[in-house]
Amino acid sequence: MEVTYRLCDKSDRQKVADFHIPNHLEVSVRNEFERKVQTDDLPADFPGLFSDELFAKDTTIIAEKDGRIVGCIGLEAKTADQCYINNFSTDKNVRKQGIGSKLMEMVLKVASEQGYKKAYLITLPDVMLDACRLYERFGFIKTAVKKGNAFMIATYEKDL
């Protein structure tokens, strides 16, 4: 069956959270200590997934196949002309099929249409290597790396 893409509304928040959180943990942890740190940080890292009000302020796009979410990506206002890309993940069973690239393409188009001039995202470069390669393919440049609680944290940015 074909993959379809659509903008989410507030009623999709729990479905997106139920999809994104386990997918994020699967690719971002290497041991139980890292799992604990990541799990404890989830509300701070992904606040829109824990609040209907915050989720409604963001733009979230999902990919669906056979009636289930197989990918998601979010866009959050940072300033009047800068946005933050968040909540980006794809189901491990559909990776390397272009779904992540399509989601990134769509969210960057929406960001540009909404008048943003720069997009930022944060990732874990030591464990999310495929994601970093995708960001770089889309023209994101790594602008900072810092040590977090258990991980190195990289900031990427892109002019729109």
pLDDT of residue 108: 98
Nearest in space to 110 (alpha carbons), one of 60, 45, 48, 57: 60
When mean pLDDT is compared across 69-73, 140-144, 148-152, the lowest value belongs to 148-152
pLDDT at 43 over 80: no
Q: Tell me if 103 sits within 8 A of 61, measured CB to CB.
A: yes
Structural contact between residues 49 and 69, judged by C-beta atoms closer than 8 angstroms: no
Domains, the chain: 4-159 (3.40.630.30)
**Does the structure show a pLDDT above 80 at 46?**
no
Please say if the pLDDT value at position 1 is more than 80: no
Residue 44: pLDDT above 80?
Answer: no
Residue 64 contacts by C-beta under 8 Å, 6 or more apart in sequence?
Answer: 3, 4, 5, 6, 70
Residue 49 clears pLDDT 80, i.e. is over it: no
Residue 160: pLDDT band (50, 70, 90) is very high
**Averaged pLDDT for residues 8-28:** 88
Mean pLDDT value across the chain: 89
Give the residue with greater pLDDT, 111 vs 54.
111
* Predicted confidence band of residue 33 (pLDDT cuts 50, 70, 90): confident
